[in-house]
Amino acid sequence: MQEQIVESIYMIKLITIFLMFFIINLHAAHDDKTCKVLDTYDFTKFDEWKETVVQKSPDYSLDPDFVANLVKPYSVNKNVIKNDKCQPEFTLTFSEYIEKRISKLRIKNGLNKLSKNNDLLNKIEVKYEVQKRFIVSIWGLETAYGEITGNYPVIESLLTMSYDERRRKYFTKELYKALTIIKEGHINIDNFKGSWAGAMGQNQFMPSSFLAYAQDFDGDGRKNIWTNEPDALASIARYLNGVGSNKWNDDYTWGREVIPPSNIEKLENELFIKRTKGCLAVKKLSKKSPLSYFSKNKFLKMDGTKLPSLGINSYLIRMGRVKSDYRYFIVYDNYLNILSYNCSNYYGISVGLLSDKFK
C-alpha cells in the first residue's frame, strides 16, 4: 500500500478503537460543551457534493444512475464530523493501555472462540500460512470477536467524510470502492454498516482493503465479512499473509518483550535512526539487526535467559512516554505485517501480546 493510504487507515482505525471500546478509560473525552466545531461548520454544500460524486462515477467504472440511486437517501451525518474533529485526548500510559486492551475477559473470550472455531481456523491457517492465534487476536482487538462492528451506514459515513476537505482525496476513493462493493453484490445496502469512518465488518476493513484482500472462504459467491465468520477470519489471514513485498513467515512469531542491558541508553543512540519512509510506527523502529546482535549485547528474555543467537531480521522498540513507563520489545518481520493492518505500535504490540495468550 502507498504510505499515505497506510497513514490514513492507521488514523481511522486508531480513532475507531478509542471511540468504540469504552472499556479503555480515557481521562478526557470530547463533549458538546468544549467542542464547538459544528457551530461553524458549513454543511450547506453537501447536496452539491453528492451531485459531484454522481458526475464523477464513470471515472470509477460506475454507472451514474446506479450511484445516484444509492446516495440519494443520505444527508450529511453531523456525528461523523464531530467524531472526526473532536477526538479525545489519549492519556493512558503504555502499561495501562496494555492492561485494559488485553483484559482477562478478552483473553477468556478469545480462548473460547479458538476452541469453538478450531477446525475452521486450522483450515485457514493451512491455506494462508498464518498462525491462527494472530487471526483471533486481531479479531478480538478490532471488534471484540465480531460483537462490535459499528452501526453507521457505510455510504453515509464516506459521503460525509469525503465532503470534509481535510482528507477528501482519500475518502472519495474509499467511497467509490464502497459503491463498487454494493455493485459486486457482496452485501445489500441495508446491511452495509460499519464504523463512523467507514471501517467495516468483523475485521474492520476499509473498502479498499476489502476489494484487495477480502475472501470468499465458504465459496458462496460473496465476500461477507459482516456476518460470515469463515469469510471474515480468512480475510484477516489473507491480509496478514502479505501486503506488498513483505510475506508472513509462519516459522516465526511476532517478537517478544525483553529486558534491556544496563547500557541501553548508549545502544539506543546507535540503534535508533531517522527514517524518512513509512508511517509513524515504522519510523519509531530501530534499524534492522540480526537477533544475534541483541543477544550479543545482553538483551534478555523476560525470564532472564539469553535470547537465541539467530540471524533473523529484528528491530527494537521502546514503548512508553516517560522513563518510568519504558518497556522494550524486539520484533521481527511478521510485526511489519501487523503494522500494515493498523500502523500503531500500541496496536501492534497489543496484537502480539494477546496472541501469546492463545499459544
Residues 175, 37 share a domain: yes
Q: How confident is the model at residue 14 (pLDDT cuts 50, 70, 90)?
A: very low
Question: Which residue range(s) make up the domain with 276?
Answer: 255-356
Domain-embedded: residue 122? no
- Characterize 111-133 residue by residue with b for buried, 16 or more Cβ atoms within 10 angstroms of its Cβ, and e for exposed: eebeeebeebbeebbeebbbbbb
Domain-embedded: residue 172? yes
Domain-embedded: residue 266? yes
Domain-embedded: residue 141? no
Residues 313, 166 share a domain: no
**SS3 of residue 314 by DSSP:** strand
Q: Above 60 in pLDDT, residue 25?
A: no
- The reported pLDDT for the residue numbered 91 is 75
Residues 194, 47 share a domain: yes
Q: Above 70 in pLDDT, residue 316?
A: yes
Residues 262, 158 share a domain: no
**SS3 of residue 328 by DSSP:** strand
Q: Residue 153 maps to which CATH number?
A: 1.10.8.350
Domain-embedded: residue 134? no
CA distance linking residue 348 with residue 343, whole number of Å: 7
Residues 315, 260 share a domain: yes
- The reported pLDDT for the residue numbered 86 is 83
Of 192 and 30, which is predicted with more confidence? 192
Mean pLDDT of all residues belonging to the chain: 90
- The reported pLDDT for the residue numbered 89 is 65
Q: Evaluate whether 329 touches 255 at the Cβ level (below 8 Å).
A: yes
Number of folded domains that form the chain: 2
Q: Above 80 in pLDDT, residue 353?
A: yes
Residues 327, 179 share a domain: no
Residues 345, 267 share a domain: yes
Residues 302, 203 share a domain: no
Domain-embedded: residue 97? no
Residues 19, 81 share a domain: yes
Question: What is the tens place of the pLDDT at every residue in 239-289?
Answer: 999 876 789 999 999 999 999 999 999 999 999 988 888 889 999 999 999
CA distance linking residue 144 with residue 17, whole number of Å: 11
Domain-embedded: residue 225? no
